[in-house]
Amino acid sequence: MSNNMMDDVEKILFSEEELTARIREMGAAITADYAGKEILMIGILRGAVFFMADLARAVKQTVAIDFMAVSSYGAATSSSGVVRILKDLDEDVANKHVLIVEDIIDSGLTLNYLMENLWSRKPASIKICTLLNKPERRKVEVPIAYNGFTIPDYFVIGYGLDYAEKYRNLPFIGVLKPEAYAG
Ligand code: 5GP
Ligand code: MG
Ligand code: MG
């Protein structure tokens, strides 16, 4: 791989400026919807980290934050939608207004599982906020309260999203050149 990440980028889908503008709108909507309610943002590691950091600063009230890390089971059982919790929350979510913050929703299996898991802990409410939504590949419907952008069935990288743990620190959302996948 080239040492210059930009050489691997086929095209930019959403520039840094477009992301900033959209996240400002999302923050304003969340601020209005949660007036008088305390928000606990739960970021899904690791892809949602950059988005959540900017989103939280676009919300004009106090936001508590926590994180979960999950991984899908192997291919054989992935259709079951069972995911493994690699890192659980540090906070108790009982009676809290939970806002799950995700980088992208693809099949929907991860969030479908997480919603069920979190509801069992008796929060006051749960809503989903995702930066990107890829509805063409959905296997199970999940209720999305806040959606940054709907995209076609591209594999995207940047702004937290990786390919083999690379490209997360690109400041935009982009698509890789085919040769970037080769080796
Ligand atoms: P789902 O359970 O909705 O199929 O999976 C969602 C997770 O798969 C995302 O949180 C993300 O980690 C990963 N994912 C899905 N689509 C993409 C993509 O286009 N690019 C990257 N980098 N990760 C993706
Ligand atoms: Mg994710
Ligand atoms: Mg990944």
Mean pLDDT to the nearest integer, 2-13: 89
Higher-pLDDT residue of 27, 181: 27
106 is catalytic: yes
Looking at the domain assignment, is residue 79 inside a domain?
no
The Å distance, Cα 123 to ligand 2 centre, comes to 21
Single-letter amino acid, residue 82: V
Counting the structural domains of the chain, the total is 1
Mean pLDDT to the nearest integer, 108-112: 95
157: β partners: 174
The Å distance, Cα 160 to ligand 2 centre, comes to 9
Sequence-ordered strand ranges (E) for the chain: 9-14, 39-45, 63-72, 83-87, 97-105, 125-133, 146-150, 156-157, 173-176
Q: If DSSP codes are grouped into helix, strand and coil, which group holds residue 7?
A: helix
Looking at the domain assignment, is residue 114 inside a domain?
yes
Instruction: Supply the pLDDT for residue 48.
Output: 98
- The model's confidence at residue 4, banded by pLDDT at 50, 70 and 90, is confident
| Burial label, 142 (beta-carbon count in 10 A; 0-12, 13-18, 19+) | buried
The parent domain of residue 102 ranges over: 5-71+84-182
Query: Which ligand sits nearest to residue 45's alpha carbon?
Result: 2
Residue with tokens 């659980």: 88
Instruction: Single out the catalytic residue among 88, 103, 106, 162.
Output: 106
pLDDT, tens digit, for every residue of 155-180?
Answer: 999 999 999 999 999 999 999 999 99
CA distance readout (Å), 116 to 58, 81, 121 = 28, 11, 9
Instruction: Supply the pLDDT for residue 72.
Output: 75
The Å distance, Cα 95 to ligand 3 centre, comes to 31
Looking at the domain assignment, is residue 77 inside a domain?
no
Q: What is the C-alpha to C-alpha distance for residues 131 and 21, in angstroms, rounded to an integer?
A: 12
pTM comes to: 0.94
Q: CA nearest 153: which of 136, 175, 173?
A: 136
User: How high is the mean pLDDT of the chain?
Assistant: 94
Q: Residue 102 CA: which ligand 1 atom is closest?
A: 10
Answer whether 74's CB lies under 8 Å from 43's CB. no
Residues in the chain: 183
Higher-pLDDT residue of 76, 104: 104
pLDDT, tens digit, for every residue of 20-33?
Answer: 999 999 999 999 99
Residue nearest ligand 1's atom 4 by CA:
107
Looking at the domain assignment, is residue 30 inside a domain?
yes
Query: Which ligand sits nearest to residue 83's alpha carbon?
Result: 1
Conformation bin of residue 164: beta by default, left when phi > 0, alpha when psi is -120 to 50: left
The Å distance, Cα 159 to ligand 1 centre, comes to 13
Residue nearest ligand 1's atom 17 by CA:
155
Tell me, what CATH number does 59's domain have?
Answer: 3.40.50.2020
